[in-house]
Amino acid sequence: MNVLSELPPPLNRLKKPPKKLYYRGNLELLKLPMISIVGSRKASVYTKNCVLNLAKTLSNAGVCVVSGAALGVDIKAHEGAFPNTIAVFGNGLDIVYPRANLKAIEQIYISSLAISEYEPGTVAAAHRFLERNRIVVALSEALVVAQADLRSGSMQSARMAQELGVKIYVLPQRLNESNGTNELLACGKAELINDFDKFAAKFGSPSSEIKDEILEFCKAGANLDEALAKFGDKIYEYELFGKLVISGLRVSLV
């Protein structure tokens, strides 16, 4: 398992920064502007769709999306931003957790970046999720809480963000469907995101977009055999994350 030679500078603002970070994947992502997206494991269909679209918009603007690879909001954030995404884990990177996200996590290991402060063999545990959250928050310029109950890990992340001076944003939600984010908004602790493009432009821009060789190759439609010969199984990875559509012997953008 690889170990970072030094901590990313944003983590040094933590009272108890991790002693070391293990990683798998692309360290170049740490050089991009980073925005964290967190939220409920039992997010609504509406929230999941919003998160997918927001993460995709951020990625297209050259922003890396950070989250915790959990069910619900987290994994949708990774899927939308893929491959420009960082997953922070509350377990050793030789253990895939949650297993329901197996395929997505394996692709993050290969094409994105996975980090953890825990040694290989360390199993997931509730207190480690809370410890993980501080890394998710501290890495980023801003925190998006997509959907949350009043008493939840996501609201704890919001409190961490306040302590660190990380600005908090929320999505529009109906009454009683996300009492946590509605409370943050009502108390003036968060700002509302009502335009994804304008939000992404605060932290990146289309001109800074990272050119994706695979998407460029397939944007006008491509022969599947040619795409596989050039990029191998990455074509199927991109299909898994909803970046490409394979129909017959053709592959094209969504």
Q: What mean pLDDT comes out for the span 112-135? A: 96
The whole domain housing 249 covers: 213-253
Query: Do 109 and 61 fall within a single domain?
Result: yes
Q: How many CB atoms lie within 10 A of CB 84?
A: 28
Looking at the fold, whether 220 and 103 belong to one and the same domain comes out as no
- CATH number of the domain within which 162 lies: 3.40.50.450
Strand, helix or coil for residue 179: helix
- How long a stretch of residues is the chain? 254
Same domain, 46 and 80: yes
pLDDT for position 208: 47
DSSP helix/strand/coil, 142: strand
Q: What is the pLDDT of residues 24-62, one digit of tens each?
A: 999 999 999 999 999 999 999 999 999 999 999 999 999
> Does one domain contain both 200 and 229?
no
In whole angstroms, give the CA distance from residue 146 to residue 79.
15
Say what the pLDDT of residue 205 is: 64
When pLDDT is cut at 50, 70 and 90, the band that residue 134 belongs to is: very high
Is the same domain home to 105 and 171?
Answer: yes
Structural domains in the chain (count): 2
27 and 61 inside one domain: yes
Tell which residue, 208, 218, 210, 209, has the closest CA to residue 238.
218
Whether residues 29 and 152 fall in one domain: yes
With b for 16 or more beta-carbon neighbours within 10 A and e for fewer, the 149-185 pattern comes to eeebbbbbbbebbbebebebbbbebeeeebbbbbbbb
- Verify that 239 and 133 share a domain, yes or no: no
More confident residue, 207 or 171: 171
The answer on 144 and 77 residing in a single domain is yes
Mean local confidence (pLDDT), 103-130: 96
- Whether residue 194 is found in the same domain as residue 224: no
State the pLDDT at residue 69. Answer: 97
204 and 217 share a domain? no
Q: Are residues 182 and 219 in the same domain?
A: no
Burial of 45 (0-12, 13-18, 19+ CB in 10 A): exposed
Q: Which residue has the tokens 């927001």?
A: 54
Mean pLDDT of the residues in the chain: 93
Confidence of residue 207 (pLDDT cuts 50, 70, 90): very low
Q: What is the DSSP string of 208-237?
A: GPPP-HHHHHHTT-EEHHHHHHHHTTHHHH
